[in-house]
Structure 1
């Protein structure tokens, strides 16, 4: 397509995309919203220390290692509010000054932000920091409740980012560090690199990596049970500017790339460069949007049950957000490892073609594909051709992969659509757990961090229903969740932000106070214990509990509700309150068992006409039907005896009325007192107290006045 025509098409599609993206047909509302003061979380922070965004679970040491700005903390894995020990790693004043001379902010950018934190085979840890825009790495050990850092710095270029605010990814495999970051100070040389005795990296070419934002990395043991003697792979998730779209403006797309663990580079072509680097577009088609969504994080989930599942059955969960400045809609898409594997091992390639002088268009490659297959690991096919390592690969294969690393086919999500969509929130992180419910089925639960510091708990249902169990506010003030970790040892979730670390349990069943509320929550972690009459964790109860993953509370025992008796004096403010048990419930009222069309019961002046039996009903939908429960029940009558009132369940409903009645009583008493005082003064002045002497005194007074 010519550039001008493509510009016109893009100009037509962009407004439509923006308009449609504002109102998606699918949107999921959390059933419950849990404020910060009710999150039951454990918190850690230290004054003047920021950016708690790097974590390493050391379950063997019962520690959570946290990398922050200029410090590494060793926190108690079971209670992160307990700081076992810590160690500083600061930069010198000279490094700060040199960094400032290069145009960076000395107070923020010219610090040492810990970005790499991995365990090694000998139990030590490998730590890297931005080091005032001069990345460096050290070894760290833990013994006798103390952390120790080596004094000698290793060069961290290509391992750790220069810029503390730049996206990056890393993973440690058998003491080899795989990292995706920038090689230079300006951030203009992005690389995927393996640091080992045989270091290797990507080409500095826009066809390989074009203004990327690295997200995460994962290792897949594809050599296990491999019929074609394949190699293990390392997968990189990122976004970058698309080269294949015919658009005048730059459009970002989501990608997944892979490399082979045993790759040694080429002999002449691609020396010390990946010979197995391939990448493909990762699609997450949000209904109503025409522009691709951008990946923000991914999580590899593999069934850990025994016997362990085949690696092809693993699933990647990924969170996506809309293109910048378009809409605030986020989504979760899931991908089968088998589908990703097929695209790379069997799919077609894209190739650049010159169209209309200097315009380059990426099209499907239809020519002959060299053997061994470009981008493939050393497998049975290569071994049959007497190629035992990548150094033996022919130049024809290497030249092909150097020019054409992009696959033609996009990787589609399971079901062809997201499993979850949410408007008004920006997803940042995701982890996934699996729990067995009382029905014997295993359910996957997604925990999703947002840029507002909340944690969404969502059920990944097999029937395709999107359901968010709750949204928990993790931090006192809104701030992005920068990292999420889950410990299978403690069963706890750990979240990091710029100002603190938080530990929360995956379930707080006590938030449901009734059986109906507990069952409608559809939380596989929780069920109703009839003997104790409370919502409990399945793992903590040995008795049979009530739980239904379709949300059917008809299994709950019938509860007889007696009305709360209220009496009001005429003229009092009359108000009955009713709180909705969930964000998904609709509230309605009845009066004397007849529909009451108001959403609340209120009148500024009570009268006998307001007497009756008021019931507040909650109606909530689930997969098994609509369920109606009584939330509040009042018997209202006129109190004509005195000013005493009967205790109520919600005293706030009568606060205003009681205050008005008290004021009236005070005014009446004051008026009576004044009237009595005036009456007493009047009688004292004009009525005689001694009847025999008062007339004589008056006569003597008149005679004296007359003589005068």
Structure 2
């Protein structure tokens, strides 16, 4: 049976790969790739401190409160490289020793990792840390430019994980802390608990089975409720499914919710949730697949709109990393609420083979409805609090907290499927474009320390860019968005960064600005710049849905660059595509050029081998990029290649050395050569006289030294030399300071591609092993 399951798994992976290959709209690539550079944003880190993975936005104080290993920082929200205050919270030597005695690593585990940061109603902050596998909490305040811990040392069990690398979730509602973590040192007692009341989940596999907690969110479902409903707290996590009968353990994604006013039961479920319900969340990427696993969520609610219009954006990754795919799915809160309030339950049923099978419950549902909050219908029955609920309702929810219906995303499919580094975090911001419509822009962190910026235009997913935030690459562990500054904040093991949601100056031409399809940016014809829509005083050229550049002014012609070549030499003409979606095409004297044994098309240019007289002439590098309206062609670079030399070229010499002209006279050269011959003959005679060299006629020399030397030389000469090709180095994109000369950041047809101004745009390529042989005797 296990072998059969392994074969099925291999078949599923191969089938999935083929399906994705055929579904190109689901496998997007970013239009622009932005390498790491200090100008991408502000960086904060301190030597000796790591794990910057907990953030709290204190927009009322103008602070980003950042939790790391053993330290808490108060950073300027406008520029996080400016530290306003900090406080150390290290473990004592005694705590570290006790942790080590329990078998934990003293360098990684037995430290204090800040894991909980929340704002309380009185303005103070509640902070918890792992504290060398003995979690502890405290209160913290910021005043007069100082961070101060009150040193009250509350027990952190159930509020903060023991293990610093274990996933957890928490949220502060009023002064009540809702947390999902583990209650014990081994991490074997998962719990969802509300403090200080202490209402928590049962220690039963049907409630939580090896969970991996992800996130929490509050929903104000009591607002304008006709039923007198209560507010809810939603929890997203993954767990081992108890309701699926497989040969191996199957992990599924879940969403659970509890009522804010839940006080537990009177006799049954004392100090336990009476409203804990959970349902499976599916993000169907491919057919016949194992469920993808949820990694993070972001709650988006439209301002001044009811809670039913709120959306949860979630990122998913596959159970098997053999399939390098990630996905984004979006769910309606009203759909989730309907499943919990009206859906069917699953219940365990014993079968003959002595195990329990979960099936849909088809019997009578007790009244009040199990898992429901106290509403007007319950109050009419005299039930005003959960302590008044009858035992039959409580026994049902204790045994059957699982809903039968699976929660599916809107439109039944993902918004985005990505082939590459696994997704880790997501935030969403809404921006109004020049066309007056509002679009949800998704910012997605990855395992490689990059951030994707993507928008869905009427069902078409478009990735605007991928920016490298951390170098060396580190997984993004936390991602926040500030409505005050309009900036993004990301944290990793290495440090924390702050970046703007858009850098319009990366586009230096109208065509590039429009084809970027960024709702944040548009082309200003007056200033001839790609400008932020929010800062524009005039109407901008923008086409986010279609990428229509027809309104752009005609670009100025590209000035040809003179380039010299030598017959028999190798020559490189530089040209990089302005975007990842563009394809490069070369023309020679207005005729299309095709790759051949002498013309090699590189990502950043054209390489000509063994140049001949016929290779001189005009070369044009054209970029062709497809949008929803047309194929747009622009000239990226143009070269005038001349034999021997071009006037004013200054660069682009042939690769083979040129014969020297105008040097010393022939008579002087002959005298120098004669002198060298005499010196060489004298040196040879002296070595023969001293015996340093073997005499040719000593054939019967028994030492064998000459044979050994000859044999070594023969072996050395017998090796074949391999032909190597040097790879050209890509320049990093510099935000606002790149002048459009690096990869994926060109201006289309409006910037002169000047080889004389850029030392990297040179026709010299050092290929010593690719020599032109003009004498057959050398072969």
With the length of structure 2 as denominator, give the TM-score of the two structures. 0.82
Q: Give the 3-state SS of the residue equivalent to 1:222 in structure 2.
A: coil
Matched, 1:404 2:400: yes
Counterpart in 2 of 1:347? 343
Counterpart in 2 of 1:159? 159
Q: Is the 8 A contact 1:568 1:645 kept in 2?
A: no
Q: CA deviation at 1:458?
A: 0.7
Q: Is the 8 A contact 1:51 1:498 kept in 2?
A: yes
Identify which of 472, 475, 480 aligns with 1:477. 472
Q: CA deviation at 1:511?
A: 1.0
In the superposition, relative to structure 1, how do residues 618 and 271 fare at CA in structure 2: closer, same or farther (>3 Å)? Answer: same
Q: Give the 3-state SS of the residue equivalent to 2:105 in structure 1.
A: coil
Q: CA deviation at 1:374?
A: 0.6
Q: Is the 8 A contact 1:17 1:288 kept in 2?
A: no
* Greater mean deviation of Cα atoms: 357-366 or 403-412: 357-366
Partner Cα separation in structure 2 for residue 172 and residue 21 of structure 1: 41
Partner Cα separation in structure 1 for residue 118 and residue 419 of structure 2: 35
Q: Is the 8 A contact 1:563 1:635 kept in 2?
A: no
Q: Is the 8 A contact 1:329 1:423 kept in 2?
A: yes
Counterpart in 2 of 1:608? 613
Counterpart in 2 of 1:466? 461
Matched, 1:617 2:647: no
Q: Give the 3-state SS of the residue equivalent to 1:425 in structure 2.
A: coil
Counterpart in 1 of 2:575? 578
Counterpart in 1 of 2:367? 371
Partner Cα separation in structure 1 for residue 62 and residue 419 of structure 2: 38
Partner Cα separation in structure 1 for residue 334 and residue 104 of structure 2: 45
Q: CA deviation at 1:385?
A: 1.2
In the superposition, relative to structure 1, how do residues 39 and 405 fare at CA in structure 2: closer, same or farther (>3 Å)? Answer: farther
Identify which of 424, 447, 453 aligns with 2:449. 453
Q: CA deviation at 1:447?
A: 0.4
Partner Cα separation in structure 1 for residue 11 and residue 670 of structure 2: 81
Partner Cα separation in structure 1 for residue 322 and residue 347 of structure 2: 31
Q: Is the 8 A contact 1:10 1:247 kept in 2?
A: no
| Structure 1 segment 44-123 matched on structure 2, within 5 A | 44-123=44-123
Partner Cα separation in structure 1 for residue 284 and residue 673 of structure 2: 88
Q: Give the 3-state SS of the residue equivalent to 1:112 in structure 2.
A: coil
Counterpart in 1 of 2:771? none
Q: Give the 3-state SS of the residue equivalent to 1:400 in structure 2.
A: helix
Counterpart in 2 of 1:320? 316
1:572-611 deviation line (CA, Å, top 9, x unaligned): 5333221001111111112232222233543244443123
Q: Give the 3-state SS of the residue equivalent to 2:384 in structure 1.
A: coil
Partner Cα separation in structure 1 for residue 102 and residue 368 of structure 2: 47
Matched, 1:542 2:537: yes
Matched, 1:431 2:433: no
Q: Give the 3-state SS of the residue equivalent to 2:221 in structure 1.
A: coil
Q: CA deviation at 1:422?
A: 0.9
Q: CA deviation at 1:562?
A: 3.8
Counterpart in 2 of 1:669? 663
Q: Is the 8 A contact 2:563 2:639 kept in 1?
A: no
Q: Is the 8 A contact 1:200 1:273 kept in 2?
A: yes
In the superposition, relative to structure 1, how do residues 673 and 555 fare at CA in structure 2: closer, same or farther (>3 Å)? Answer: farther
Partner Cα separation in structure 2 for residue 333 and residue 567 of structure 1: 52
* Greater mean deviation of Cα atoms: 173-182 or 281-290: 281-290
Counterpart in 2 of 1:646? 648
Q: Give the 3-state SS of the residue equivalent to 1:555 in structure 2.
A: coil
1:170-217 deviation line (CA, Å, top 9, x unaligned): 000101100000011110110110002x32000010100000000000
Counterpart in 2 of 1:590? 587
Q: Is the 8 A contact 2:421 2:446 kept in 1?
A: yes
Counterpart in 2 of 1:487? 482
Partner Cα separation in structure 2 for residue 396 and residue 287 of structure 1: 42
In the superposition, relative to structure 1, how do residues 677 and 415 fare at CA in structure 2: closer, same or farther (>3 Å)? Answer: same
Q: Give the 3-state SS of the residue equivalent to 2:340 in structure 1.
A: helix
Counterpart in 2 of 1:278? 277
Q: Give the 3-state SS of the residue equivalent to 2:614 in structure 1.
A: helix
Partner Cα separation in structure 2 for residue 314 and residue 624 of structure 1: 33
Q: Give the 3-state SS of the residue equivalent to 1:211 in structure 2.
A: coil
Q: Is the 8 A contact 1:42 1:81 kept in 2?
A: yes
1:356-400 deviation line (CA, Å, top 9, x unaligned): 241111100000001111111001221121111111011110000
Partner Cα separation in structure 2 for residue 221 and residue 614 of structure 1: 65
In the superposition, relative to structure 1, how do residues 441 and 679 fare at CA in structure 2: closer, same or farther (>3 Å)? Answer: closer
Q: Is the 8 A contact 2:575 2:606 kept in 1?
A: no
| Structure 1 segment 99-498 matched on structure 2, within 5 A | 99-196=99-196, 198-288=197-287, 290-304=289-303, 308-461=304-457, 463-498=458-493
Partner Cα separation in structure 2 for residue 523 and residue 587 of structure 1: 23
Partner Cα separation in structure 2 for residue 673 and residue 194 of structure 1: 101
* Greater mean deviation of Cα atoms: 534-543 or 476-485: 534-543
Partner Cα separation in structure 2 for residue 215 and residue 152 of structure 1: 28
Counterpart in 1 of 2:774? none
1:211-230 deviation line (CA, Å, top 9, x unaligned): 00000000000001211111
Partner Cα separation in structure 2 for residue 505 and residue 18 of structure 1: 38
Partner Cα separation in structure 1 for residue 16 and residue 102 of structure 2: 41
In the superposition, relative to structure 1, how do residues 243 and 365 fare at CA in structure 2: closer, same or farther (>3 Å)? Answer: same
In the superposition, relative to structure 1, how do residues 182 and 670 fare at CA in structure 2: closer, same or farther (>3 Å)? Answer: farther
1:27-60 deviation line (CA, Å, top 9, x unaligned): 1111111101265211010111111000000011
Q: Is the 8 A contact 1:277 1:375 kept in 2?
A: yes
Q: Is the 8 A contact 2:565 2:571 kept in 1?
A: no
Q: Is the 8 A contact 1:39 1:473 kept in 2?
A: no
Q: Is the 8 A contact 2:564 2:646 kept in 1?
A: no
In the superposition, relative to structure 1, how do residues 505 and 213 fare at CA in structure 2: closer, same or farther (>3 Å)? Answer: same
Counterpart in 2 of 1:524? 519
Q: CA deviation at 1:566?
A: 1.6
1:526-545 deviation line (CA, Å, top 9, x unaligned): 11112222211111221221
| Structure 1 segment 653-664 matched on structure 2, within 5 A | 654=652, 657=654, 660=656, 663-664=658-659
Q: CA deviation at 1:325?
A: 4.1
The runs of 5 or more residues in structure 2 that have no matched partner are 596-600, 676-779
In the superposition, relative to structure 1, how do residues 679 and 92 fare at CA in structure 2: closer, same or farther (>3 Å)? Answer: closer
Q: Is the 8 A contact 1:21 1:326 kept in 2?
A: no
Q: CA deviation at 1:630?
A: 1.5
Q: CA deviation at 1:626?
A: 2.1
Q: Give the 3-state SS of the residue equivalent to 2:580 in structure 1.
A: coil
In the superposition, relative to structure 1, how do residues 669 and 77 fare at CA in structure 2: closer, same or farther (>3 Å)? Answer: same
RMSD between superposed Cα atoms in Å: 2.0
Identify which of 615, 626, 633 aligns with 2:638. 633
Q: CA deviation at 1:12?
A: 5.6
Partner Cα separation in structure 1 for residue 79 and residue 224 of structure 2: 40
Q: CA deviation at 1:633?
A: 2.1
1:228-264 deviation line (CA, Å, top 9, x unaligned): 1111000000000011111010010000000000100
* Greater mean deviation of Cα atoms: 542-551 or 586-595: 586-595
Q: CA deviation at 1:557?
A: 0.6
In the superposition, relative to structure 1, how do residues 672 and 59 fare at CA in structure 2: closer, same or farther (>3 Å)? Answer: farther
Partner Cα separation in structure 1 for residue 186 and residue 674 of structure 2: 96
